[in-house]
Amino acid sequence: MSASILIVDDESRYRQLYMQVLDLAGFTVQSAASAEEALGIIRKSAPAMVVTDVRMDGSSGIDLLRTARREHPTLPFLLVTAYADVRDAVSAMKLGAVDYLSKPVDLDELLAAVRDTVGIHSHTPGTEPVIPAEALKGIVAESHAMRSVLRDAYRIARSDAIVLLTGESGSGKEVLAGFIHRHSLRRSKAMVTLNCAAVPATLLASELFGHEKGAFTGAVARRKGRFREAHGSTLFLDEIGDLPLELQPSLLRAIETNRVTPLGSDTEIEVDYRLIAATNRNLPADVESGRFRRDLYYRLNVIAIEIPPLRERVEDILPLARFFLGQGKVEGKRLSRAAAQTLLAHTWPGNVRELANAIERVRLLSQTDVILPEHLPPAVCQATSRARTAAGSEPPPIQEPQAGLKTLEENEIEVIRRTLEQTDGNRTRAAELLGITRRGLIYKLKRLGMG
């Protein structure tokens, strides 16, 4: 019989998300919307572990921990909060909490914490979510990094948790938003999209919340707005980091209440939607500079998924190029070996969008079935030319490694292990010290067999 986990959170979107993740991992999951409800469940039949939010309406998660541990002194508690409050963390650990996670919760860390606590230290075969082949139709992802991103996206798709997609421009955030929507419970209705950077600031409120006829000059008819258009579906707000500061309180209220007020109206309208937001900006830095509201950032940052740039997932370059090449009306074109090497040598600052545009140019301008380097855009070819110039006409001789020297992988393992020891296992801090993203660190740990 699988271990029973009790999820306690006053927000249904979090309860659904954590329940779905733990259920897929093979646990028996119960939920409660308040500390009082949770106490009733614990007194009736104590679970193997409690995962509870700290800040809830009514009694807090720490209140629940304090009361429950009087009757069940060994019951493990894992506390979660949207606010990294050190005082709460210290109080929780003194009361016997096994760990403390800050929102947005890393789902792999949540699973690891639960497994470690209830004594399951290895993955049970078949419990991890497997993405069906048909679900990946139109998605090209050969790299481990993108496969990991897709697994996370598939894992949370059926919940209503807010998702914040981050990554460089052109890395595929809209494609991933569409993937999440297609596998959500709202997939029967089309996803509604708004690019916040593409609409003039004076019109953005109307685009978001709608307006009544005559609400302003030029408002000759009523407009529902994207929130109401997304009722029963998914609302994708792209470039959310470019939302004007003066509109951010209205967006925050819409997220918190699930209600919008059209311009020119005094009536609030309830809407049922799932929100996915995306940005290529550094929102934490914008929060510190006052450009983006801190409370809105915390509301959006429920589940954060970072899409790595194309230069960090080189394995995807040629499969993507062949995919784009096959989308044209002219069939039979293929990449020569030299053209493939040229594509791999480029750093792709414009990411997948730049690659798609390069292949579109090839399809339109090349007159042969075999794509040669000269068919590619000059900016793409320059990287290979510079590399050849720097290397000279003759490749350097291959040197045998000296005895006693460690391999690159061995050195990488040692550096990561030392950094994790220095940060007491804090992956976020370790990633900062290593100069890589947190997701990049998690990927390396899995690749090197360290996590």
Q: Is the pLDDT of residue 41 over 90?
A: yes
CB atoms within 10 A of CB 422: 12
| Same domain (yes/no): 180, 282 | yes
Q: Find which of 120-134, 135-149, 181-195 is predicted with most confidence, using mean pLDDT.
A: 181-195
Question: How many domains does the chain divide into?
Answer: 4
Whether residues 363 and 442 fall in one domain: no
List the alpha helices (DSSP H) in 326-405.
337-345, 351-365, 378-391
Question: DSSP class of residue 110?
Answer: H
Q: What is the pLDDT at residue 86?
A: 52
State the pLDDT at residue 400.
47
pLDDT tens, position by position, 65-97: 999 988 888 899 998 876 655 566 666 777 778
Indicate whether 425 pLDDT > 90: no
pLDDT-derived band at 392 (thresholds 50, 70, 90) equals: low
CATH number for position 442: 1.10.10.60
What secondary structure does DSSP assign to 197-242, as a single string? TSS-HHHHHHHHH-B-TTSSTT--S-B--HHHHTTTEEEEEETGGG
Residue 255, pLDDT above cutoff 80: yes
For residues 218 and 417, which has the higher predicted lDDT (pLDDT)? 417
Q: In the predicted model, is pLDDT for residue 417 greater than 70?
A: yes
CB 332 within 8 A of CB 46: no
Q: Judge if the upstream peptide bond of residue 104 is cis by omega within 30 degrees of 0.
A: yes
User: Could you tell me if 107 and 187 lie in one domain?
Assistant: no
Is 132 a domain residue? no
Residue 294 confidence (pLDDT): 93
- Tens of pLDDT, residue by residue over 229-246, are 999 999 999 999 999 999
State whether 147 and 246 are in the same domain. yes
**Domain at 271, CATH number:** 3.40.50.300
Residue 252 banded pLDDT, cuts 50, 70, 90 = very high
Which of 50-59, 85-94, 173-182 has the lowest average pLDDT?
Answer: 85-94
Q: Characterize the bridge pairing of strands 370-371 and 334-335.
A: parallel
Sequence-separated (6 or more) residues with CB below 8 Å from residue 221: 213
> Lowest-pLDDT range, 139-148, 271-280, 333-342, 383-392?
383-392
Residues 192 and 304 grouped into a single domain = yes
Residue 394 pLDDT more than 50? no
What was the pLDDT predicted at 393? 47
Confidence of residue 306 (pLDDT cuts 50, 70, 90): very high
pLDDT, residue 129, reads 53
Do 104 and 153 reside in the same domain of the chain? no
Is the pLDDT assigned to residue 176 strictly greater than 80? Answer: yes
Beta strand residue intervals within 339-381, DSSP E = 370-371
One domain, residues 301 and 321:
no
For residue range 343-359, list pLDDT tens digits in order: 999 999 999 999 999 99
What is the strand order of the sheet 273-279 is part of?
192-195, 233-238, 273-279, 163-166, 303-306
Structure confidence at residue 384 as a pLDDT band (50, 70, 90) = low
Percent of the chain scoring above 70 in pLDDT: 85
Q: Name the domain boundary from 308, 338, 368.
A: 308
**Local confidence band at 162 (pLDDT 50, 70, 90 cut-offs):** very high
* pLDDT of 6 higher than 50: yes
User: Do 164 and 246 sit in the same domain of this protein?
Assistant: yes
Do 351 and 291 belong to one domain? no
- Contacting residues for 85 by C-beta, under 8 A, at least 6 apart: 54
pLDDT at 126: 43
CB 366 within 8 A of CB 334: no
The CATH number assigned to the domain holding 52 equals 3.40.50.2300
Range scoring the smallest mean pLDDT among 4-8, 211-215, 381-385: 381-385
**In this structure, are 222 and 343 located in the same domain?**
no
pLDDT at 188 over 50: yes
Decide: helix, strand or coil at residue 442: helix
pTM metric for this prediction: 0.69
Pick from 308, 335, 350: which residue ends a domain?
A: 308
User: How far apart, in whole angstroms, are the C-alpha atoms of residue 367 and residue 48?
Assistant: 67
Query: What range defines the domain where residue 221 resides?
Result: 142-308
H or E element, residue 32? strand 28-32
Q: Kindly state whether residue 136 falls inside one of the protein's structural domains.
A: no
- With cut-offs at 50, 70 and 90, classify the pLDDT of residue 383: low
pLDDT, mean over the chain: 84
> Scanning the structure block, which residue is given the tokens 């040692």?
414
Which residues lie across from 163 on neighbouring strands? 276, 303
Phi, psi of 335 (to 5 degrees): -85, 135
Q: What is the token pair recorded at 4?
A: 């029973």
Q: For residue 113, what pLDDT band results from cuts at 50, 70 and 90? A: confident
Residue closest to 244 by CA, chosen among 276, 275, 206, 205: 205
Q: Is residue 50 part of a domain?
A: yes
Report the amino acid identity of residue 63.
D
* 216 in the same domain as 318: no
Among 363, 391, 419, the domain-final residue is 391
CATH code for the domain of 369: 1.10.8.60
What's the chain's Rg over C-alpha atoms?
A: 25
Domain match, 18 and 147 both? no
Q: What is the pLDDT of residue 214?
A: 75
- Separation CA 103–CA 192 (nearest Å): 26
User: Is the residue at 106 inside a domain?
Assistant: yes
Per the CB < 8 A criterion, the answer to whether 278 and 236 are in contact is: yes
> Would 170 be classed as within a structural domain?
yes
Structure tokens at 195: 């690019």
Rama region for 138: left / alpha / beta (φ>0; ψ in -120 to 50; rest): left
